[in-house]
Structure 1
Amino acid sequence: MRQAKNRIAELEGILREGGVRVTRQRAAILKILAEAEDHPDASELHRRAKEIDATVSLSTVYRTLSALEQQGVVQRHAFENATARFETADAPHHDHLIDIETGAVIEFRSDKIEQLQAEIAAELGYDLVRHRLELYCRKRKD
């Protein structure tokens, strides 16, 4: 719990440094994102935020997400055939597997994939700077 509080404080500090006021509503949304183990969309964030602060409106969620994204605190994911999902931008690098039947988003990291991407870039005469990998999958029925 202490680590989560430190993380939230760091993210709030980034906002303040960028000239963004950390209102009670913004703090609630940031807390939800920092503690989320999933990738909520705006509607889900709104539902969770209302449990913390009943005055949070959906438009406040959208405005807050925009401000958080502009400050580099939040990352937007536009997965195929889905509403935009969000996560904090300070998470360690990872890739995403999306279950095309349930919409579940599963984070994973593979050293083999990381190495292969760097090798492909090098073979083509480039240095890999960053990448984003999304795997769209269907659960096996074995």
Structure 2
Amino acid sequence: MSSENQELRKVGLKVTLPRVKILNLLDQSDERHMSAEDVYKALLEAGEEVGLATVYRVLTQFEQAGLVERHNFDGGHSVFELDSGEHHDHMVCTETGQVFEFHNDEIESLQKKVADELGFELTGHNLVLYGKPKVN
């Protein structure tokens, strides 16, 4: 049994060809953050016949099942990435839209400190930084 089939069953989703194809694409792609349109175009280029509405529906099911995370960066469209189980934050280039992942222990510590000072237990956060390349 393929790892994609096992992942789908583990989260309670029936194994269907579109789900397997989309999960495999997300797993194999060099691009970690893909819109539904990106997924659809990549499937078309691979000769796969999966409709755009199906891609949207499957990605939403994956999100609800915890297989992918949805991000709404500036620009208005959602992108999806496989949930790796490891926390990271994002830096988005305002010129190209390219997304970079990073993890910084100092930032994580400061966020916890702020939550403590305000009387909260931090249960999660989403940090997105926006910028453009420095010109030397």
TM-score (ref. length: structure 2): 0.88
Note if contact 1:77-1:85 (Cα within 8 Å) is conserved in structure 2. Answer: yes
Q: Please name the residue that 1:29 is paired with.
A: 22
Write the letter of the residue equivalent to 1:29. Answer: I
Structure 2: stretches of 5+ with no match in the other structure: none
1:75 counterpart SS class: strand
How many angstroms does 1:10 deviate by?
4.6
The 1:107–1:10 alpha-carbon spacing in structure 2 relative to 1, beyond 3 Å, is farther
The aligned length equals 134
Amino acid at match of 1:138: K
CA contact (8 A) 2:5 2:20 kept: no
Match of 1:49 in 2: 43
User: 1:96–1:105: 8 Å Cα contact kept in structure 2?
Assistant: yes
Pick aligned residue for 2:8 from 4, 8, 12: 12
**Ranges in structure 1 where 5+ consecutive residues have no aligned partner:** none
CA RMSD in angstroms comes to 1.7
Helix, strand or coil: the match of 1:60?
Answer: helix
Q: Give the letter aligned to residue 134 of structure 1.
A: V
- Take 2:67 and 2:56, find their aligned partners in 1: how far apart are those partners? 14
SS of equivalent to 2:125: coil
After the TM superposition, which residues 1-142 of structure 1 pair with which residues of structure 2 at under 5 Å, given as runs? 6=3, 8-15=4-11, 18=12, 20-36=13-29, 37-142=31-136
Kindly tell me: are residues 28 and 129 of structure 1, through their superposed partners in 2, closer, same or farther at Cα, counting changes over 3 Å? same
CA distance in structure 2 between the aligned counterparts of 1:101 and 1:85, rounded to whole angstroms = 17
1:60-106: CA deviations, max 9, x gaps? Answer: 11111111112121111111114110011234100000001100000
- In 2, Cα distance between the equivalents of 1:45 and 1:122? 40
Q: Which amino acid aligns with 2:89?
A: D
Runs of 4+ off more than 4 Å: none
Indicate the SS of the match to 2:24.
helix
TM-superposed deviation, 1:128 = 1.3
